[in-house]
Amino acid sequence: MKRQLLAFLLLALPVAAQDTAKPPAPPPIQRVIPLKYADPRMLLSLLMNTFDATFSSNTELHAIAVRSSAQTMQAIEEAIARLDTPAAAPRDIDLTIHLVVGSDSEGNFGGPLPKDLEPVAAQLKNTFPFKAYRQLDVLTLRTRSGQRASTESSGGFMQFGTVTKPVVTSISLNSSSIGADGTTIRLDQIRSNARIPVENSPGNFNWQDLTLNTDLDIKEGQKVVVGRMGINREQALFLVLTARMVQ
Where are the domains positioned within the chain?
Answer: 24-83, 92-246
Architecture of domain 24-83: 2-Layer Sandwich (3.30)
* Centroid of chain to Cα 127: 29
What pLDDT score was predicted for residue 182?
81
Q: Is 230 left (phi over 0), alpha (psi -120 to 50) or beta?
A: beta
What pLDDT score was predicted for residue 165?
92
**Residue ranges in the chain modelled with pLDDT below 50:** 5-12, 15-17
Three-class secondary structure of residue 224 per DSSP: strand
Instruction: Kindly report the backbone phi and psi dihedral angles of residue 46, in degrees, each rounded to the nearest multiple of 5, phi listed first.
Output: -65, -45
Residues 148 and 42: their CA atoms lie apart, in Å, by: 23
Which pLDDT tens digit goes with each residue over 54-99?
A: 999 998 899 999 999 999 999 999 999 999 988 767 789 999 999 9
What pLDDT score was predicted for residue 68?
95
| Cβ atoms within 10 Å, residue 235 | 20
Instruction: Kindly report the backbone phi and psi dihedral angles of residue 144, in degrees, each rounded to the nearest multiple of 5, phi listed first.
Output: -135, 145
Q: Which positions ≥6 away from 44 have C-beta within 8 Å?
A: 55, 56, 57, 64
Amino acid at 102: G
What pLDDT score was predicted for residue 26?
85
Query: Could you tell me which of 104, 93, 194, 199 has the C-alpha nearest to residue 152?
Result: 194
Residues 177 and 92: their CA atoms lie apart, in Å, by: 10
Q: Does the reported pTM lie above 0.85?
A: no
